[in-house]
Structure 1
Amino acid sequence: MSRRRHDRNPLGQGAARQRANRRTPHTSRPAPAESAAENPLISVLRPALRSDDPTAFWVAAAPLVTELADLQHHPEELPEGVDLLDTFIEINVAETTALLHMVAAMCPDEDLRSRAQVGLTARRQPMPPQVSGLVQASVTEAVAFSDGAGENLLVELVLPRGVRATLIAYIQWSPAPYVKDAFVVGESLEEITRKYREIMAGEGASLDEVLEAVGPADARARFRQALANTSADVEQSGDWEQWPMLRPFVEFVVGRMPEGGTGYDEDALYGGFSDVATLPVPEQPPWILEDGTDLVEEFTTSAHAVGLERGSALEDLVAYLMILLDASLGDPLGWDPELAEWILSEVLPRVPTLPEAAAAQIPSALPELVAWSLERKGEEPSVIARTLSAIAPLLDEFPARRADPRMRARRLEEQVDFALELEDPTALRLADLALRAGGSEVLAELETAPLPAEKLALEQFPDDLRDLAAEIDTHLVEGVAALLEHHSGSADTDELLTACRRLLVRVAQLDDAVLRRKASTRNTAAAIVSIVARGNDLMGYPPAPLHEKDLHRAFDLRSSPSQRARTLMEAAALPHRFTGVALADPELLLGTARAELRRVRDVLQAE
């Protein structure tokens, strides 16, 4: 396995593994045993439970453990009166018994774990050791080897009756260590390393030169650090067979390791500098012709550009558009209606490397550039008119389309993707800082003054949601006070409340349907605090001063608000971040967080 997707699992294990469909069947509660064979979820579990591969059931059942925990907080997603765990408790067959063992061992929801344990007391079906022996599993040893951008971390899990399995995770180191992929193989660590050794020898490399023995306690610390940086809302990708749906199992394995180890030294993982805000200019600029003619200069000094704002922003825009056309058609002047529509509707609204000053000139500059380009090519006036007519409505919509919060989030995400392609760790860290701040230009101008104390702007909510918003705000006030009571130096109460209230307003403005769903106002308040605290590095892996247990205590929660937090983040159009939460707005960042972003920015730019 390596960071390259095409060879993430050279062992060839797990490619045919079945995994559960995350969709919950919206049907009435089935009759217990007689309809079990027709239940689609049980049909997934059955072959996995009977498989000779001891890991098959873990892989199939782990997504159901996640789904059960999610639905605990969103009962409205099931038919009225249906409880999915009760459904499986009532269906007394071997597959549901095995699932209850999984829930009892690794579900993140305490209530569900307890109910599963009670349900097991009435079960008598014999279980294979990889199911019944989960509570006796232990981690014996761990190894790691790096490819320069991250490491493969392998740990061996031993269960009763000689069952052995190896958990393999790829930990990407930049912009901070996070779990990029993970899967489990039903073989011993010795056998797995033997196969890696053979594969690398065939490529002219030696595994033994890079293999590192890792103590189980250190492996736990590395996993905890990487998992804390791995966003809970990562979607299942077709590129990964098991991750992230295997996360409950990974968390379970990590919990079997001893505490007290040492994690990654993040300061030792990075180096180099690259400016990710520049335009991707090829070695031979397409605007320079063989005779030395500079097409950018020719356009900006033409009659078509007389009414445009001259300067570097216009030149950047024209150069970028010529690169796009040359890459698409091999002609920097080759405009046609279809290509123009595609560039305006799909490319320019989300391109992360185009400065905002250049993007602002698109509505006025693009029609002039198109007309000038086609005239220079000698096209008929009717062709020019048809092309300009095709893009006219898109030009009118462009400013609003580019300013849309979800499009803005997509640009920030793609800036990180662009930095990943550079394979420069420092460029990636700068892109991650820009993601958190709200863009490269925002990052360059961050101020560090604390947020002012503000009351909840109830006037920003629809009339029928104001009472609900006020109730959420009451829980915010009480919960934040309780959260900071024993951590008074971690944040200012008023400043944290301001950020939480602004996020709640943003949710109401962008997608108030989320607030209309059936959900506890206390849970909603806790989820908002969790988002803001994680986005400001107040909560999470040390040295963050606050932890999940502090949030639970402050808001008197019985289970994690992570699912509600994920829904609220989507409603607020926050960009996805592999290593945690990106608020992407200085108006939601505390003064201390903005100061830290500036400090890291300055360090990286000085290297």
Structure 2
Amino acid sequence: MSRRRHDRNPLGQGAFHRPASRHIPHTPEPAPSSAVPPADNPLIEVLRPALRSDDPTVFWIAAAPLVVELADLRHHPEELPEGVDLMDTFLEINVAETTALLHMIAAMCPDEDLRSRARVGLTSRRQPMPPQISGLADATITDTVAITDEVGENLMVELTLPRGVRAVLIAYIPRAPALFVKDAFVVGAPMEEVLHRYREIMASEGSSLDEALEVVAPADARTRLGQALALTPADEGTAGSEEQWPMLRPFVEFVVGLMPAGGTGYDEDDLLDGAPLPTSERPPWILEDGTDLVAEFTASAHAAGLERVETAADLVAYMMVVLGGGLGDPLAWNPELAEWLLTDVLPTTPILSEDQAAQVPSILPPLVAWSLERTGEDPSVIAQTLREITPLLEQFPVRRADPRMRAQRLEEQVDLALELGDPSALRLADLALLVGGFDVLAELDTTPLPTERLPLEQFPDNLRDLAAEIDAHLVDGVSALLAGQPAPDQTAELLTACRRLLARIAELDDAVLRRKASTRNTAAAIVSLIARGNELMGYAPAPLHEKDLRRAFDLRSNPSQRARNLAEAAALPHRWSGIALADPGLLLGTARAEILRKQDVLREQDPLAGPGAMGRRS
């Protein structure tokens, strides 16, 4: 369902609404209460149509990101203009929209202080509220089911509010390589209507809802969803629908809290076995009459000057797959299509080896010329097309080598494994993501990182004092963090990894270091990324937890927002669960040893598991 039609909202696009943008509207500066009339406040403009909608879910969807933002800014006041308290803004503007928002905060904000302030504020509000707002405190769970597929399940929870308001929360939970919430959205309809629509969709695809449907006890649903949420870091974007998830997370956690505790969750037996892959159709380079276009090209005069024809043939076949799948014609070259391939597809695809990618600039011109000549295109058009793609070809190696392109390739390698529905391939791709690719995984060793100082000479002159201050906090914080741990000798290694990450951030995007933020907070965020990426901190069996980090750096809250910004600046790839540093130079020797141990276990369980597994299986 994560890649099939039933993963989408079963009631269609018109069945639920969403904010026009994922960006959370910020209050103007200075505070809106003193500068902008409530009617013209951009926050009010976002909430007003949501509050007036007939769909009970629309306001939940619009307000949930604000609940997240409010809780985050509560712990990061430096991101607001001086003297501005966002919660005070909501309390001071006494209109229906902010009253409704206070109801949301009181019900589901993760910060107890903010919940308390919202409840107090509501005592003076008199605006009438629709039942989906005022009735949140009285919501109950009336039905819980799951629809399973070959990769995971859609866990579905029906909420009933006063005056007959019903809605269904749908959370998609893959079960390999680890449990996590990949997507979640809420539909303003009763469970029977949602299931009826699923039944129709699945029947049209030749499958049966009854075979995939499981009635789940509410306590079991709570435990399952709670397990998946616990493995879905709150401070990381998750590759979901991007319509509601992960912004809807506080609402999902609110729903979990409505269900009874004590249920049974997932265990090792729930990890999925490999499923047979569908038989592939005729490849696009083979015409109906049996003509092999790849063989025809490699035998043509256009390909006479190419080296390593076999490698060229694989690359040509891949580009014909892209063209055939997207346009229905593997020879349909034009400048716009070439630009799309060279800027969006080929730099990020995990299918090509580095050797194949290096041959793109030499292979593409003769392939384009041969393809257009074969389809009868005028020579002047062919020449113009080649002239237009020449600068793109010159830029391609640099674009392919860009750290952000590399991160996207690693992410898409995992997505490809998920498409295959093969748990072994998926877990192997996740291990490759952790170290930076299959080629790196094949050469991985367990030598401890050397002791290194921070290379201040590599920093811009106007950043060196700031970097030195961050480094001083790193030294003190790491020492305090590892004090009393079983392996205190990891202090030097951890410091080296943190310093390397700091230097990398300065090289790729030093603007993030210039933003207003305390150097102590920045140092703690760097340690958080490195410790979590080495599985030293996080959920059990990790020996360290967020409270240990806060204690070591004398912080009142976890530096999650700062860590997000730094991870983005360092071009770290996104991972479903946890942090992927994607660089053995940032991994401690013990972490690399554990990754190799997991790879050995995979190979024992599945002899085909290895860097070439996806190619063999596809």
Shorter-chain TM-score category? 0.7 to 0.9
CA distance in 1, matches of 2:34, 2:10: 42
Contact 1:300 1:310 in 2 (8 A): no
Q: CA deviation at 1:40?
A: 3.5
Q: Deviations 1:256-314 (Å, cap 9, x if unpaired)?
A: 55666553225642333999xxxx997447279968778548737969545x5436434
CA distance in 2, matches of 1:13, 1:370: 39
CA distance in 2, matches of 1:200, 1:334: 39
Change (3 A) 1:469 1:103: farther
Q: CA deviation at 1:223?
A: 2.1
Give the alignment partner of residue 531 of structure 2, picking from 522, 533, 550.
533
1:286 aligns with 2:285: yes
- What is the one-letter code of the residue matched to 2:462? D
- What is the one-letter code of the residue matched to 1:452? P
CA distance in 2, matches of 1:378, 1:164: 61
Q: CA deviation at 1:398?
A: 1.7
1:26 aligns with 2:25: no
CA distance in 1, matches of 2:258, 2:548: 23
- What residue in structure 1 maps to residue 445 of structure 2? 447
- What is the one-letter code of the residue matched to 1:286? W
Change (3 A) 1:311 1:184: closer
Q: Deviations 1:226-252 (Å, cap 9, x if unpaired)?
A: 223335443797x56533221112123
Contact 1:335 1:373 in 2 (8 A): yes
CA distance in 2, matches of 1:56, 1:62: 10
- What residue in structure 1 maps to residue 271 of structure 2? 269
Change (3 A) 1:192 1:545: farther
Give the alignment partner of residue 99 of structure 1, picking from 87, 98, 101.
101
1:61-460 aligned at under 5 Å gives the runs 61-72=63-74, 78-79=80-81, 81-109=83-111, 112-113=114-115, 115-116=117-118, 119=121, 142-155=144-157, 166-184=168-186, 192=191, 196=195, 200=199, 203=203, 205=208, 207=210, 210-214=213-217, 216=219, 218-231=220-233, 232-234=235-237, 239=241, 241-256=243-258, 262-266=264-268, 268-272=270-274, 283-284=282-283, 286=285, 295-296=294-295, 299=298, 305-306=304-305, 308-310=306-308, 312-324=310-322, 337-370=335-368, 385-460=383-458
Q: CA deviation at 1:592?
A: 3.2
CA distance in 2, matches of 1:292, 1:127: 68
Contact 1:300 1:315 in 2 (8 A): no
Q: CA deviation at 1:488?
A: 3.3
CA distance in 1, matches of 2:500, 2:250: 32
Consecutive unaligned residues in structure 1, runs of 5 or more: none
Greater shift, 549-558 or 458-467, is seen at: 549-558
Task: State the SS of the aligned residue for 1:178.
Answer: coil
Change (3 A) 1:197 1:93: closer
- What is the one-letter code of the residue matched to 1:8? R
- So what's the TM-score if we normalise by structure 2? 0.81
Task: State the SS of the aligned residue for 1:171.
Answer: strand
CA distance in 2, matches of 1:206, 1:601: 36
Q: Deviations 1:89-118 (Å, cap 9, x if unpaired)?
A: 212344434423433443334554455456
Contact 1:110 1:558 in 2 (8 A): no
Task: State the SS of the aligned residue for 2:182.
Answer: strand
Q: CA deviation at 1:404?
A: 0.7
Q: CA deviation at 1:64?
A: 1.2
Consecutive unaligned residues in structure 2, runs of 5 or more: 609-618
Greater shift, 399-408 or 131-140, is seen at: 131-140
Q: CA deviation at 1:515?
A: 0.8
Q: CA deviation at 1:574?
A: 1.7
CA distance in 2, matches of 1:16, 1:252: 19
- What is the one-letter code of the residue matched to 1:462? P
Q: CA deviation at 1:197?
A: 6.5
Q: Deviations 1:142-187 (Å, cap 9, x if unpaired)?
A: 4434233222323455778998765432222233222233234567
CA distance in 1, matches of 2:280, 2:537: 40
CA distance in 1, matches of 2:160, 2:297: 71
Greater shift, 420-429 or 444-453, is seen at: 420-429
Q: CA deviation at 1:454?
A: 2.2
Task: State the SS of the aligned residue for 2:537.
Answer: coil
Change (3 A) 1:85 1:365: same
- What residue in structure 1 maps to residue 552 of structure 2? 554
Contact 1:97 1:120 in 2 (8 A): yes
Task: State the SS of the aligned residue for 1:152.
Answer: strand
Change (3 A) 1:450 1:567: same
RMSD of the TM alignment (CA)?
Answer: 4.3
- What residue in structure 1 maps to residue 9 of structure 2? 9
